[in-house]
Amino acid sequence: MDEQELGKYYAQRTLLKREVLPEHVANAAAVLTSAELSHTTGLHIPVDAGVAAAFLR
């Protein structure tokens, strides 16, 4: 498989059928470190476009 097609291949394996890019993870990290969530603890935000839910056991 061509390296250029890997993103599309893995995107098809998610519920949202979208690629997860570094900027998506950075956006989640920015939200977690912002003052808007200063009273939140123990938060887990999966940034995986639904890949875990796509492969239910």
Query: In CATH, what number is assigned to the domain containing residue 40?
Result: 1.10.8
The DSSP symbol for 49 reads: T
For residue 51, pLDDT over 90 is answered with: no
Quote the pTM value. Answer: 0.73
In whole angstroms, what is the distance from residue 50 CA to residue 14 CA?
A: 5
Domains contained in the chain, number = 1
pLDDT at 56 over 80: no
Amino acid at 22: P
By residue range, what is the domain housing residue 9?
3-54
Model pLDDT for residues 23-50, shown as the tens digit of each residue: 999 999 998 888 888 888 888 889 999 9
